[in-house]
């Protein structure tokens, strides 16, 4: 790595402040944007068309194409939180910056009040109801989520939370951006939906998970067991098939490995497949990153199969509106390049309240207690960042 890059990524992390700042860090780059030059309108046109039109009239930013950055909801018909920033600063990935290894202080105990919605027992009952329907053959998979509502006695220190998230998993996707008056979406997702660079795409679906263990031998045992788990391999295969089918129409070649590998975060092991492809040129252009992302979203990793029926089951069994959770977050420039990440391991902050989200893929072989425990483990990414031990 060039010496000039040392400290440049962590400098952007350190410069993040809540308000109009938009921070996005990935394994390929770090981005910090400020201000709003234009907002992507909400109307009946397809989202990629609205984004392209918004970018078309914008000037370059320091010699780079203008870009939009923000978040898209789980329901693609809902308003998105996408804006063209006034300024953008770029740096190499956080994981390549040696300064990311320097420790930062853990958050002081805040006296959070924690309220699960739904209660764990009610979540387990919803999983059991979904399993019974799948065992009757009604559908193949549904992803059911639950939330934790955290309320603090003092104002939230969002920059400190983003520091914790980024430094715990510097090789992942850390994000923080405004989504409305006084509201901020922040998180550390492990899952790339799709990225486009020129004529190439990469997608990295994750499905099938198990919690990490602090004991090394047990951690290795859990990883090995996940690679052999029939239930998790089946769940993963459904997601990979959907990604392949969604991307194939845009590609001349598409490479899909036969078996998944493992990726790890600080809290979880995940089954992972890296899909790569060469984009087809049609009418003198290739599909943009956002067009590819919209063709995939929502994948069975966050919704289920078949998609329409899984959406109905989610509406029936989840006692809250997902909003931006399990949508996508990222950026796209006027050339069509961009990165879009699945919005998981996240929270929405407003005033003194955080709403955390976690979900689990439910198939016919899913034990309700195991899925409840899995969502509990997934909460740990964010609970660690705010100093809550559960």
What's the CA gap between 129 and 135, in Å, rounded?
Answer: 10
How far is 217 from 225, CA to CA, in rounded Å?
A: 12
User: Considering only CA atoms, which of 318, 388, 370, 356 is closest in space to residue 147?
Assistant: 356
End-to-end alpha carbon distance in the chain = 39
Q: Give the residues across from 262 on adjacent strands.
A: 271
3-class secondary-structure state, position 255: strand
Please give the Cα distance from 30 to 253 (Å, whole number). 29
Give the C-alpha separation, 258 to 224, whole Å.
18
Q: Which of 53, 138, 141, 374 is catalytic?
A: 141
User: Which residue among 191, 235, 348, 371 is the active-site one?
Assistant: 191
Give the DSSP letter string of 195-257: EEETTEEEE--EEEEEE--SSHHHHHHHHHHHHH-HHHHHHHHHHHHHHHHHHGGGEEEEE--
Closest CA relative to residue 266, chosen from 336, 219, 333: 219
Task: Report phi then psi at 134, rounded to 5.
Answer: -70, -35
Strand 206-211 versus strand 353-362 pairing type: unpaired
The gap from C-alpha 175 to its chain's centroid, in whole angstroms, comes to: 9
Q: Are 374 and 146 in contact (CB under 8 A)?
A: no
Q: How far is CA 251 from CA 17, 46, 74, 238, 330, in A?
A: 40, 21, 25, 20, 22
Specify whether the CB–CB gap between 292 and 332 falls below 8 A.
no
State yes or no: is 191 an active-site residue.
yes
Mutual angle of helices 368-386 and 158-168, in 10-degree steps: 120
* Catalytic annotation, residues: 141, 191
């Amino acid at each position: 790595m060039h010496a000039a890059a040392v400290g440049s990524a962590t400098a952007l992390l350190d410069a993040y402040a809540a308000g109009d700042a938009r921070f996005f860090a990935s394994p390929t780059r770090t981005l910090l944007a400020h201000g709003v030059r234009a907002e992507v309108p909400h109307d009946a046109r397809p989202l990629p068309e609205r984004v392209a039109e918004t970018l078309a009239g914008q000037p370059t930013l320091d010699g780079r194409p203008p870009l939009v950055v923000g978040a898209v909801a789980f329901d693609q018909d809902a308003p998105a939180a996408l804006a063209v920033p006034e300024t953008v600063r770029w740096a190499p990935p956080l994981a390549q910056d040696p300064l990311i290894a320097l420790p930062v202080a853990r958050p002081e105990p805040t006296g959070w009040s924690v309220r699960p919605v739904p209660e764990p027992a009610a979540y387990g009952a919803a999983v059991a109801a979904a399993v019974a329907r799948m065992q009757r053959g009604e559908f193949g998979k549904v992803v059911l989520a639950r939330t934790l509502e955290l309320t603090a006695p003092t104002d939230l220190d969002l920059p400190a939370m983003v520091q914790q998230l980024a430094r715990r998993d510097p090789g992942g996707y850390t994000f923080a951006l405004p989504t409305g008056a006084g509201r901020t979406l922040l998180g550390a997702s492990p899952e790339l939906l799709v990225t486009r660079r020129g004529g190439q795409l990469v997608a990295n679906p994750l499905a099938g998970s198990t919690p990490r263990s602090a004991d090394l031998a047990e951690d290795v045992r859990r990883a090995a067991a996940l690679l052999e788990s029939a239930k998790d391999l089946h769940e993963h295969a459904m997601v990979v098939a959907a990604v392949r089918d969604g991307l194939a129409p845009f590609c001349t070649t598409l490479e899909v490995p036969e078996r998944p590998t493992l990726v790890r975060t600080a809290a979880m092991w995940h089954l992972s497949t890296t899909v790569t492809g060469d984009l087809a040129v049609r009418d003198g252009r290739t599909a943009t990153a956002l067009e590819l992302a919209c063709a995939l979203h929502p994948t069975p990793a966050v919704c289920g199969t078949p998609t329409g029926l899984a959406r109905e089951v989610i509406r029936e069994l989840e006692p809250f509106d997902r909003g931006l959770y399990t949508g996508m977050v990222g950026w796209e420039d006027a050339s069509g390049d961009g990165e879009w990440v699945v919005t998981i391991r996240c929270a929405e902050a407003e005033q003194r309240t955080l709403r955390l989200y976690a979900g689990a893929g439910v198939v016919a072989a899913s034990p309700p207690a195991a899925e409840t425990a899995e969502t509990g483990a997934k909460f740990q990414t964010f609970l660690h960042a705010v100093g809550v031990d559960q």
